[in-house]
Amino acid sequence: MRYFIHLSYNGTNFCGWQIQPNEPSVQETIEKALFFILKEKLNITGCGRTDTGVHALNYYAHFDFKEMTNDELDKLKYRLNSFFSYEIRIISIKKVRDDAHARFDAISRTYKYYIATQKQPFNNEFTYFFSRPLNIEKMNNASEKLLTYTDFTSFSKLHTQVNNNNCTINFAYWEKKDDLLVFTINANRFLRNMVRSIVGTMIEVGLEKISIDEFCKIIEEKNRSLAGVSVAAKALFLNEIEYPKEVYDY
């Protein structure tokens, strides 16, 4: 029987979702907890990688185990949450189809990035402080241009193990909320460091260091060295994952 774990996590003290040598990961932490509780070594497959320090409000992973009742699943959720510190929260554990896949069945993913325009004494852990004035209108113009491209090599970490750097971006926009500038982007998939390097490049657009045409040229050149720096991971959140309803038909 296959199960989806729906969870959220604070990525500050993790090297990301995926297991890495000699570094704490969310995946390893959950697998150890499941082994302790269920007395069986289980491999968990996540909906995607998140970089070191990146957070997830909604994350999904799947694992296979014998059939459990709803009461048993509720107890497992309770025991897992008791096992973890505040950094990980298990929201639900649900039965899914035997061929359901947390990564490959995902229709879309939504990320949010938070820039603080004023110092955040109580929210510094989750925002990127940038006090210089930014032209949000031009940054939104650049956001619209993203939808006209599919190859985002210029915004990808080099030497990653993927077949291609093509992504379909469904929407992307900036909005101002009090002292925060929030970037929201939704796509069928994301490359490593993609959102953070897009934000870093858009900051240059907002500072009017580069034009919209130059922003487009950076994408078209497919050269990571032409794009802006990757901004701090601490302000990036995986916000939503969308699945087809059929995943839960079992």
Q: What pLDDT, in 10s, does the model give residues 47-81?
A: 998 999 999 999 999 999 999 999 999 999 999 99
Helix (H) or strand (E) holding 87: none
Backbone φ/ψ region at 205: left (φ over 0), alpha (ψ -120 to 50), beta: alpha
What local confidence, expressed as pLDDT, does residue 250 receive?
64
Catalytic residue selected from 51, 74, 99, 249: 51
94/90 Cα distance (integer angstroms)? 11
pTM of the predicted model as reported, rounded to 2 decimal places:
0.94
51 catalytically annotated: yes
For the chain, the 3-state helix, strand and coil shares in percent, each to the nearest 5, are 30, 25, 40
- What number does CATH give the domain 2-104? 3.30.70.580
CATH 3.40.50.300 for domain 108-240? no
Max Cα–Cα distance, the chain, nearest Å: 58
Domain map (residue ranges) of the chain: 2-104, 108-240
